[in-house]
Chain A
Amino acid sequence: MAITPPTERIWWRQPIAKVELVWIIIAFTWGLIMFFMMIFWHGAGEQNLSSEAYQIKPERFAAHAQKMIDDHQVRIEGGFPVVHPPPGSDVYLIARLWQWWPILELEKDQSYRLHLSSMDWQHGFSLQPVNINLQVHPGYEMVLTIRPDQAGEFGIVCNEFCGIGHHMMVGKIYVAE
């Protein structure tokens, strides 16, 4: 029994039963398939997260974002500047207690280099209802290329706990046709 010492003293010499061996081979092969699936997707798939990142002081990141806002602001909505940056450009999104700043207006099927960083604590970038979720750290700038392939209005929820106002932290991205 499993609660007593093995009955065969030299248990490591016992042959493995066929049914177990077959399952081990199947399970191991399945593991390999899952392993190579991730590598395969880097070549064949369109959703691979960039590993481009920089250490950055929050003030510097805020200055980049402010420049983009000054250059490309098109209107104000609920106190938030709405920015329409040119396709292909660098766009900045600030995470801070408890806002996603500013509101971005992008164009469908155009690529943008999105820069994400936090001014204070960790935040969670959760683009809804698309359901893309990224972690945003203070002191680190994550840079990724996104290409919105649907038009409409999208919410950005914060899904990393960031204090008592966490549940009020909502941002917006518009994607124009």
Chain B
Amino acid sequence: MSKIFDFRTCPTTGLRVDRTAEKLIKANAVAAVIFLAIGGLFGLLVALTRWPAVHFLPADWFYLALTAHGLDVLLVWIIFFEMAVLYFASAILLNCRLAGARWAWTGFGLMLTGALVTNVAVLRGQSSVMFTSYVPMQAEPAFYLGIILFAVGALIGCFVFFGTLVVARREKTYAGSIPLVTFGALTAAIIAVFTIASGAIILIPTLLWSLGLVAHIDPLVYKTIWWAMGHSSQQINVSAHVAVWYAIAAMVLGAKPLSEKVSRTAFLMYILFLQLASAHHMLVEPGFSPEWKIFNTSYAMYLAVLGSMIHGMTVPGSIEAAQRARGLTKGLFEWLRKAPWGNPAFAGMFMSLVFFGFIGGISGVVMGTEQINMIMHNTLYVPGHFHGTVVAGTTLAFMAITYLLIPLIFRRELAMRKLATWQPYIFGIGVAGISIFMMGAGTLGVARRHWDMTFADALLPFDYPSVAYLMMALNGIFAVMAATGGLMFVLVVVRSVFFGRRLAENEKPSYPEVPPQAAAVAHYGSAESPHIPGTVFLVGIFFVAFVLYYFVNWKYLSEVWPLS
């Protein structure tokens, strides 16, 4: 290939930007947002149906909408956006051309085709099997085929990313080691390869089974391997959104990691241990030994949780250190009070950090405890937990960095700034509410994936406590709020990207403010102990909340019928 690579120079960062990489980032981000809008709409319909006083959809449509919601947001939106993150963290941050652009477009085409095929299969109504498609419940072959195509496309994207790292190293486009954000993206890509391989191992036989070519798929084997994909893919999200946190802290505040070694080791722990999480879904299944459950569900003694707890200190710590270096040194929290809360990139990132830790993180560890799982499995506690991780964590972080990608990559001025300023708050608080109230309803025993909590059509009567109805109404209200925030995001993106003012070739965007590369932050190496008392205080609150909530749930467990 004797193609001449086409670069422009970024007026904000001074980096060379490969125009092909830029186009791919745009294409993937736009596809992501489209599926976020579709999947988000299905999510709103689900929440309105579970709001007992509204009970919006009929049963068949509810289960269809729930299947589509899971697929479009948990899989399609997030993976498309992650492709954009991978290309950004490789070609753009490393100052390099994208390796194998034609492959990258092929991957994009496969992902888009796969997403459409699966969506059509679901909308035809014969594949309302939920995102997890547990056998022996069967969907149309197109349902599995679409997911497989999508996964192959994503796998190609991962290898384009790896290839770009190799090219950058060979062409010496950067000095020393790759940036921390790229390292985090590399973590995500490595986990993605494991995830997609697991998916192939189980979904290809399942496709053949739905075509009638394979006679039997064992439901326990299916579940164990499916979750090696299903849960590990959430760890791709964790790695990617932690990388995005570091990126936003760097781009908005010029924050520098407290210690490269600590942050990178924390990412490494994700690669080494997160894949064991399939066990989180097998804690109340027949036949698994306690030894297997305890080792796997704890990621081998909570070593991956340790990784997240480290990031939980180093991300806000690096922000505090940068702010203090700028002179915001009064008291414990001047650095936080005077943070750029009006900048949607920062506001979204910081809320993502807090909600992911306090809501998604703590609940995940508690629910993943071998015995405690019994009082939560398949109740609404489960979606409560993962809306805290994947929506309040990943989605909010991805929305936040989109506000930086619009001026830097799309080269458009951010439109509707007022709306953009409010968006992370409306969406973030809405999602936090969804998570908390679903967890509340789950604690009261309300089943997930369930059309009618009143059991009006059941042969035998049963009633949940009335507080559970209140929880579901509040969940509905906060879902409307979150959907409003989601709509605001889509409006701002569409308005900016398609109708916003085009920035001139060398024009620096005025909003959101991004400090120049050589930020006013003084040099602070990890050798000098950074002064971060505010972060220490916040981490202390987190730790106390974690310990208390953990033991409260043991108390709840001790009150149920003895069983062995």
Contacts and interface: CB of A to CB of B under 8 A. Distances in A.
Interface in A132-177: 132-135, 137-142, 144-150, 155, 157-164, 166-172
A20 B313 contact: yes
Contact of A24 (B287, B310, B457, B517): B310
B447 A158 contact: yes
A53 interface: yes
B547 interface: yes
A169 B378 CA distance: 15
Interface in A31-84: 31-32, 34-35, 37-39, 41-42, 45-53, 77-80
Given A6-B176, A51-B290, A141-B286, A133 B526 contact: no
A19 B562 contact: no
A157 B302 CA distance: 33
Contact of B455 (A15, A139, A168): A168
Given A8-B525, A167-B455, A168-B457, A132 B563 contact: yes
A144 B358 CA distance: 35
B476 interface: no
A47 B374 CA distance: 9
Contact of B564 (A11, A134, A144, A149): A144
A163 B133 CA distance: 11
Contacts of B247: 2-3
Contacts of A141: 286
Nearest to A158: B447
Interface in B245-302: 246-247, 249-251, 254-263, 283-290, 294, 298, 301-302
B306 A34 contact: no
A132 to B, nearest CB: 6
A131 B258 contact: no
By secondary structure, the A interface counts as mixed
Contacts of A163: 137
Given A35-B298, A122-B137, A142-B287, A2 B563 contact: no
A145 B563 CA distance: 5
Contacts of A166: 63, 449-451
Nearest to B295: A35
Interface stretch (B115-123, B177-185, B188-196, B432-440): B177-185
Interface in B418-461: 443-445, 447-452, 455, 457-461
B327 interface: no
A31 B563 contact: no
B561 A149 contact: yes
Given A2-B255, A3-B247, A155 B462 contact: yes
Interface string B220-237: 100000000000000000
A41 to B, nearest CB: 5
Contacts of B563: 46-50, 132, 144-147
Interface in B489-547: 517, 519, 523, 525-530, 532, 536, 539, 543, 546-547
Contact of A34 (B175, B302, B517): B302
B277 to A, nearest CB: 15
By secondary structure, the B interface counts as loop
A37 to B, nearest CB: 7
Contacts of B547: 30
A35 B302 contact: yes
Contact of A1 (B250, B301, B369): B250
Given A2-B180, A2-B246, A20-B259, A170 B562 contact: no
A49 B284 contact: yes
B469 interface: no
Interface string A102-138: 0100000000000010001110101111111111011
Interface string A8-19: 110110111111
Contacts of A146: 561-563
Interface in B297-325: 298, 301-303, 305-306, 309-310, 313-314, 317-318
Contact of A172 (B175, B176, B460, B543): B460
A28 B462 contact: no
B251 A3 contact: yes
A161 B219 contact: no
Nearest to B59: A164
B534 to A, nearest CB: 12
B262 A24 contact: yes
Contact of B374 (A26, A77, A134, A169): A134
Given A131-B379, A131-B445, A48 B564 contact: yes
A16 B459 contact: no
Nearest to B563: A146
Contact of A48 (B298, B303, B371): B371
A100 B286 CA distance: 18
A32 B299 CA distance: 11
B260 A14 contact: yes
Contacts of A11: 177, 260-261
Interface stretch (B71-79, B141-149, B552-560): B552-560
B230 to A, nearest CB: 15
Contacts of A20: 258-259, 262, 310, 313-314, 317
A130 B562 CA distance: 11
A41 B555 CA distance: 12
B374 A78 contact: no
A5 B59 contact: no
A128 B261 contact: no
Contact of A121 (B136, B255, B517): B136
A148 B381 CA distance: 24
B306 A24 contact: yes
Contact of A47 (B130, B250, B310, B557): B557
| Residue of A5, A42, A53, A127 contacting most chain B CB atoms (<10 Å) | A5
B458 A1 contact: no
A126 B177 contact: no
6 contacts: A23-B313, A35-B301, A38-B369, A45-B557, A166-B63, A166-B450
Closest 4 CB pairs of A and B: A31-B302, A53-B287, A159-B447, A155-B462
Interface of B: 59-60, 63, 93, 129-130, 134, 136-137, 174-181, 218-220, 246-247, 249-251, 254-263, 283-290, 294, 298, 301-303, 305-306, 309-310, 313-314, 317-318, 365, 369-371, 374-379, 443-445, 447-452, 455, 457-462, 464-465, 517, 519, 523, 525-530, 532, 536, 539, 543, 546-547, 550, 554, 557-558, 560-564
